[in-house]
Amino acid sequence: VGTKSERAALAALSRLLMDSDPLAVPFYEAVTQARWFKWSSIHAAAVAALLEANGAEEESRSLIADSAARLESGADLALFYCDLMAAFSSRGLKRRAMDFYAQLRAMPTPLAGGGKTYMAMIKSLCMMGLAAEAEEALRVMLSLGYQPDAFQFGLVAKCYGKAGQLAEMERVIASMSDAGIRLGTGAANIVLSCYSACREHGKMLAWLKKMRKLRVTPTTKGYNFVLNSCPTVVSMARELDPSLPLSAAQLVRKLKSASPWPAEAEVVQELLAASSVLTKAMVWSETEVKLNLHGFSITSAYVLMLQWVDALKVDRTLPLEVSVVCGVGKHSDVRGEPKVRELAQEVLSRTGSPLRLSARNKGRLVAKRDRVKHWLATEWTSMVPEESTDQSTNSSDQQQCLPNLLRKLGQFFSSFVPVSR
């Protein structure tokens, strides 16, 4: 599509279909009448699936028949069946999706369209949750001399992983090297996400060590996968009790002594050893050093801040200003509840940090260099010693009540303290 308005029209159609908007079908019919309109297999399949999902089966089947009749080559028809499989399965119409798969399998082999057709087929089968069939299509693709990329292997591995079939997932990832494909961050994240879902800390630890050996650095997404699978750390970040560790070393020690999950402490320790995530999240300039917490879960933000403070202590040549960007809750589970900001304020306030909410940006904590240097020169520990466990319930409640009250008061008054920028 050439002009800006034509591209905008197709983008609007895609959005309507994605949102299952009732206007999608009449909008599609109107667009098809335009002179510039070029038929699209993906759009036709999406409209057909939406019609059937809304109970208009006759209209759906008519659209499919008309679309198939206009296709002149076997390659185009095979791709259309793949798009139909994906569109119908995405709306929960798996039986109909299987009908299109049967039609695809009935076509002469090898399928027309070459590698492109097999790539589309693998993607659609994975959307349908048919991992074994997708892996078989991957094998056929390789046997025919077509070269799949890491994305196809990743799709199949993820499909196995989502079904809890970790051995099969591992086999597919291992087969990438046989096909001459180097392990990248995408495939590495898929493995981490699958181990995370199953809380396989032992396997996750081994995989993190393998990543380090192959020099595949964790990403923000991988960092979230790992830490969100660590129940003890998740509980710490949510509850923020008085014994919350305030340094990376304290965190590891507490996990070793208190975590009921044998490998949890080692997993966190291995992740802390990789500085790539912190390096990307921390921006240094002549005027400012900034930690950007966008994209991190609450648990990940907590651990990353501990790493960040350690890094600041090592490098005392600070610029004029130090800040933490944590947002105002636009992407929180409940919009407008800045959970990451609340966590950042709480953790930093417990360490005596001078960082306060900026007067101009309520999603940013900021302080001047001299005050930060003085803060970093001090030592801080948890409000309650880790060994102090022999306390009555009433005493524990009283100890938690006062810090919580002080924290709330501090957060309330900090919004009125004028801070530059």
pLDDT digits (tens, 9 = 90+) for 313-356: 887 688 999 999 998 766 555 555 689 999 999 999 999 999 99
DSSP 8-state symbol, 367: E
Provide, rounded to the nearest whole percent, the portion of the chain with pLDDT above 90.
64
Handedness of CA 153, 159, 161, 167 (dihedral sign): negative
Determine the Cα–Cα distance for residues 295 and 220; give it in Å rounded to an integer. 7
pTM of the predicted model over 0.85: no
Lowest mean pLDDT among 11-15, 213-217, 366-370, 400-404: 400-404
Q: Does residue 312 carry a pLDDT above 80?
A: yes
pLDDT for 331 equals 55
Predicted confidence band of residue 245 (pLDDT cuts 50, 70, 90)? very high
Please, how many CA atoms are within 13 Å of residue 391, restricted to the half-sphere of its CB?
14
What value does the mean pLDDT of the chain take?
86
Determine the Cα–Cα distance for residues 241 and 383; give it in Å rounded to an integer. 9
Predicted confidence band of residue 394 (pLDDT cuts 50, 70, 90)? very low
Predicted confidence band of residue 4 (pLDDT cuts 50, 70, 90)? confident
Return all residues near 307 (Cβ < 8 A) that are at least 6 apart.
248, 272, 275, 278
pLDDT digits (tens, 9 = 90+) for 79-93: 999 999 999 999 999
For the chain, the residue count is 421
Strands (E), 69-202: none
Lowest mean pLDDT among 181-190, 217-226, 317-326, 397-406: 397-406
Whether the CB-CB separation of 201 and 259 falls below 8 Å is answered with no
Provide, rounded to the nearest whole percent, the portion of the chain with pLDDT above 70.
87
pLDDT for 389 equals 36
Q: Angle 94-105/74-90 helices, nearest 10 degrees?
A: 160
Please tell me whether residue 320 adopts helix, strand or coil conformation: coil
344 CB neighbour count, 10 Å cutoff: 27
Angle among Cα 151, 152, 157 to the nearest 5 degrees reads 95
Where does 240-275 have alpha helices with state H? 248-258, 264-273
Q: Does residue 193 carry a pLDDT above 60?
A: yes
State mean pLDDT over 103-126: 93
pLDDT for 330 equals 62
